[in-house]
Amino acid sequence: MIFLQTLLLTDGGGALDAQSFTYDGAIAAITYMLCDQSYKAEKILSIYQKEFYMLKNENYGIFNSYRSDKEGTNWGMVIGIDGDRMHVGPNVWVAIAALQYTAITGKLDFLKLAIDISKWTDGLTHYAFPDGQRGGVSMGSGWGPDWSTVFSTENILDDYALKKMLTEIYAIDNSEIKKIFAQSGYNLQDMKKEILNIERWLMQVVYDKHKKTFNVGYNEHGVDKIDALDTVSWAVAAVGPSRLAKMGVDPYYLMNYADKNYLVEDAIEGVKVKGYDFTNQRSRQKNYKMIWFEGTAFHIVAMQIMSQYSRNNANPKRAEYFRQKSKFFLNEMQKASQLCAMIDGALPYVSKKLGEKEIVTTFKDDWEIPRGKNGQWVASASSTGWYIIALSGFNPLAFDRAHINYKLFAKQM
């Protein structure tokens, strides 16, 4: 059984021991569903459901991380290494996992949670256009910079996916579903308006007409022109290649941009492996490169989507190209898993095995790579979960009703 705990394991004594990250928990819940273990996903979602409605500094929401070795109290779970950071991305991924659970099982237990998280993002600070209209949501709150002034393309794509999925569920002719939406005070117009606001923000704020791809976000200094893999992969997965094309974005060019900027080769235990990095050398401003296994896996999902898109548009050569490419990188991830030889075939976060005091960052000055005790590999729930998601040919950021047998939608027929 592949390792799927909702924390990052170290060899003991590492900084990430007993740290459970909300995003990883959501990915684990989705992965359990794909492994026909929805009861485990239900347990994870039940914990987050209870936690979301616990008041924290007069606000609802889920913190980015929690302690997994301490019992919760009447006031909620014990806060983790990220402190009081409460970001949009992790919260929305819990909602996305809840909606996938809703669709896969046909049960409505977590639909209200997903709706309320979507309403929660609607209530946060949004980008303001000069004409008074608003764009995407800010990153949230917590220690560090003023997150209400930071707008992340990645987080906003998450929110876009959540709202699109909610509109599909709302469209089902089911009185119980309509009742849950009505009780939550959320309607189709609310969701559609936010979707259009986000599309405008994507195209008028962070889409770079020169690079023909999306920048990483916007902050108090203006557009953050750092390149990031997830702005490509999640744009394809969340918005979809058909909609991107209608918006004026060439999805094939996006995928080619990813190959030119993020495709790398690194040695693991002396063996060369190919995959995708977080960013390029220009944005990192350091000369090292590494394979980001989580990112490589979700980029494989983007390849699978592009293969189907090509097939649907009578382009069999491109369809086969992306199909073969996805198979190649799945094999590269399997190779990496075997070389790292961690518990139950788990994957590390990146291809670098760091010393205890070695510091390597994902971008120029952000997010240190996890380090294990005595220079050991650090197993990653997100990397391992996304690998299984890619193996399953599953896109968590949308409902693939043409190929997935969702019980919720089957009830319509």
Strands 217-219 and 213-214: unpaired
CA-CA distance, 154 to 134, in Å (whole number)? Answer: 18
Distances (CA, A) of 192 to 32, 143, 170: 31, 32, 11
User: Of 92, 221, 112, nearest to 154 (Cα)?
Assistant: 92
SS3 (DSSP) at 262 = helix
Q: Compute and round to an integer the Cα radius of gyration of the chain.
A: 20
Closest CA to 97 of 121, 116, 86, 113: 113
Instruction: Kindly state the percentage of the chain with pLDDT values over 70.
Output: 95
CATH class of 19-410: mainly alpha
Spatial distance between the Cα atoms of 32 and 214, rounded to a whole number of angstroms: 32
* pLDDT band of 3, cuts 50, 70, 90: very low
Cα end-to-end span (Å), the chain: 36
Pull the structure tokens for residue 340.
């790292």
Confidence (pLDDT) at 1: 32
Long-range contacts made by residues 313-318, C-beta under 8 angstroms, separation at least 24? 318/252
Residue type for position 218: Y
Look at residue 188 and give its three-state secondary structure. Answer: helix
Dump pLDDT digits (tens) for 283-311. Answer: 888 888 999 999 999 999 999 999 999 99
Beta pairing partners, 267 = 272
Residues 312-335: pLDDT tens digits? 999 999 999 999 999 999 999 999
Judged by average pLDDT, the poorest of 46-60, 147-161, 264-278, 385-399 is 46-60
Does residue 5 surpass a pLDDT of 50? no
Q: What are the residues facing 350 on neighbouring strands?
A: 292
pLDDT in tens, 72-96: 776 778 888 889 999 999 999 999 9
Q: Give the mean pLDDT of 222-234.
A: 96
What is the predicted pLDDT for the residue at 380?
92
**DSSP H or E stretch at residue 207:** strand 207-208
pTM: 0.94
The mean per-residue pLDDT over the stretch 175-181 comes to 97
Residue 412 is predicted with a pLDDT of 62
| Confidence band for 15, pLDDT divided at 50, 70 and 90 | low
Cα separation, 203 vs 32, whole angstroms: 35
Smallest Cα–Cα separation from 218: which of 158, 125, 150, 154?
150
